[in-house]
């Protein structure tokens, strides 16, 4: 029997899950769950590289599990767990830290961006974030890692670290591949369309949260920054069109229409109509997610069962890899 390829991915519970997180990652995961063996984690350890309110973090962790389920991730088919419940992540990350260079980490765009936006807290964890991410992936010998474009640089460094380790100790780690969605790989801020949409954006008008209500979504899309040309046309790389390119990306991702089809549909129509239809399409797309999320909110025991069994099953796989790595580097077994 042919064994399925393995997938690992995750999202940090560091804010309100955005349409960017959904289109760039979670929506894609749902499409992959039948053809791959999938592990989807809630990356709480990553999230504390930026200060979090402990109460909020706890709440958001459970909320994110509900979002995974509400988006259609089936807990019977996939392994769902919380990163901090599986100690192997921290254990492997430490070893990999010793096989990662300061120079390569200092080139990471996310580190540079977050050092600017959190200038009062440039901590070592923020710097070594990609090493923990490499551990997350390599622990499970994942073949593929579905991510948005912003995370591709971290996949590259993960591949470099794994290759370096393998060159010294033999074939220990599987070298993973990044996997981008067809549409929505990079959703931009609605207010600053040259910046990516982020859940930690201090301006909530810049992002759409999966849990925003319909009126809020419509208002945010209607006030999205565009240009004065009034032509609904996708022009890759044209900074002046960044706002409209972004809205077209969103519209295309939720309706499945191509850019050409959208351009034809809105020829001569102007931005008002297009924005209004985009808002409707997003609201309709999100509505069932929101409803399922609300339904799940009343079932704490069910959620707890999922993350408990997920952690046990994940640790079983991950601890085998940690033992192998410990042996390779020469730690005394006990």
Query: Please, what is the minimum distance in Å from the beta carbon of residue 234 to ligand AQP?
Result: 16
Tokens, residue 11: 């999202």
CA–CA dist 15, 64 (Å, integer): 10
Q: How far is the CB of 249 from ligand AQP (least distance, A)?
A: 9
The smaller minimum CB distance to ligand AQP, of residues 200 and 214, is found at 200
Catalytic residue among 66, 114, 241, 275: 114
CA distance 173 to 162: 6
CB of 113 vs ligand AQP, minimal distance in Å: 9
Q: Does 248 bind ligand AQP (CB under 6 A)?
A: no
- The token pair at 234 is 């996708």
Residue with tokens 């201090």: 202
CA gap 16, 198 in Å, rounded: 9
> Could you tell me the smallest distance in angstroms from the CB atom of residue 91 to ligand AQP?
21
Q: Which residue lies nearer to ligand AQP by CB, 191 or 198? A: 198
Hey, what are 294's tokens?
């609300």
**Nearest distance from C-beta of residue 215 to ligand AQP, angstroms:** 23
Give me the sheet containing 144-146, strands edge to edge: 79-82, 37-42, 6-11, 144-146, 177-179
Interaction pattern, residues 189-228, with ligand AQP; x per rule: CB under 6 A: -------xxxxx----------------------------
Is residue 20 part of the contact set for ligand AQP (CB under 6 A)?
A: yes
d(CA 263, CA 234): 8
| CB closer to ligand AQP out of 248 and 325 | 248
Q: How many CB atoms lie within 10 A of CB 116?
A: 9
Q: State yes or no: is 195 an active-site residue.
A: no
Position 246 contacts ligand AQP (CB under 6 A) = no
Q: CB of 37 within 8 A of CB of 6? A: yes
Map tokens 């390779």 to a residue.
328
In the bound state, the residue with its beta carbon closest to ligand AQP is 24
Catalytic residue list contains 196: yes
CB atoms within 10 A of CB 32: 19
Among 6, 7, 16, 21, binds ligand AQP (CB under 6 A): 21
CB 146, CB 28: distance < 8 Å: yes
- 43 sits near ligand AQP (criterion: CB under 6 A): yes
Burial pattern 163-184, b for ≥16 Cβ within 10 A else e, equals ebbeeebeebbbebebbbbebb
Query: Rule CB under 6 A: is residue 232 a binding residue for ligand AQP?
Result: no
Closer to ligand AQP by CB, 10 or 75: give it.
Answer: 10
The 153-192 site mask, x for binding ligand AQP (CB under 6 A), equals -------------------------------xxxx-----
62 three-state secondary structure: helix
Phi, psi of 256 (to 5 degrees): 80, 5
Candidate list 80, 131, 144, 147; residue touching ligand AQP; CB under 6 A: 147
44, 63, 150, 315: residue in contact with ligand AQP (rule CB under 6 A)? 150
Q: CB 16 → ligand AQP: shortest distance, Å?
A: 9
DSSP-derived letter for residue 46 is H
Q: One of 196, 220, 241, 275 is an active-site residue; which one?
A: 196
State the CB neighbour count (10 A cutoff) for residue 300.
10
Q: Binding residue for ligand AQP (CB under 6 A) from 151, 191, 226, 278?
A: 151
Write out the residues near ligand AQP by the rule CB under 6 A: 11-12, 14-15, 18, 20-21, 23-25, 43, 147-148, 150-151, 184-187, 196-200
Active-site annotation, residues:
114, 196, 199
């Amino acid at each position: 029997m042919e064994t399925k390829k393995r997938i690992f991915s995750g999202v940090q519970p560091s804010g309100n899950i955005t349409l960017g997180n959904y289109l760039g990652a979670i929506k894609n995961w749902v499409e992959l769950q039948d053809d791959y063996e999938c592990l989807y984690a809630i990356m709480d350890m990553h999230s504390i590289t930026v200060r979090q309110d402990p109460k909020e973090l706890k709440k958001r962790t459970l909320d994110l599990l509900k979002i995974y389920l509400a988006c259609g991730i089936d807990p019977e088919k996939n392994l769902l767990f919380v990163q901090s419940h599986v100690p192997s992540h921290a254990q492997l990350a430490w070893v990999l830290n010793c096989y990662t260079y300061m120079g390569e980490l200092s080139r990471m765009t996310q580190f540079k961006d977050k050092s600017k936006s959190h200038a009062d807290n440039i901590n070592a964890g923020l710097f070594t974030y990609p090493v923990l991410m490499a551990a997350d992936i390599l622990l499970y010998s994942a073949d593929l890692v579905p991510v948005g474009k912003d995370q591709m640089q971290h996949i590259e460094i993960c591949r470099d670290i794994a290759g370096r380790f393998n060159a010294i100790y033999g074939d220990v780690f599987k070298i993973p591949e990044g996997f981008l969605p067809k549409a929505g790989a990079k959703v931009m801020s609605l207010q600053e369309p040259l910046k990516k949409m982020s859940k930690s954006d201090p301006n909530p008008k810049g992002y759409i949260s999966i849990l925003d209500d319909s009126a809020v979504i419509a208002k945010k899309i209607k006030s999205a920054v565009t240009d004065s040309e009034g032509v609904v046309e996708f022009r890759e790389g044209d900074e002046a069109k960044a706002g409209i390119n972004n809205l077209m990306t969103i519209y295309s991702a939720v309706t499945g229409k191509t850019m050409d089809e959208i351009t034809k549909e809105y020829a001569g129509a102007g931005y008002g109509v297009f924005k209004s239809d985009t808002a409707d399409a997003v609201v309709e797309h999100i509505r069932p997610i929101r409803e399922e999320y609300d339904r799940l909110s009343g079932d704490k025991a069910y959620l707890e069962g999922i993350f408990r069994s997920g952690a046990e099953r994940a640790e079983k796989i991950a601890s085998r890899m940690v033992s192998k790595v410990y042996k390779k580097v020469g730690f005394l077994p006990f």
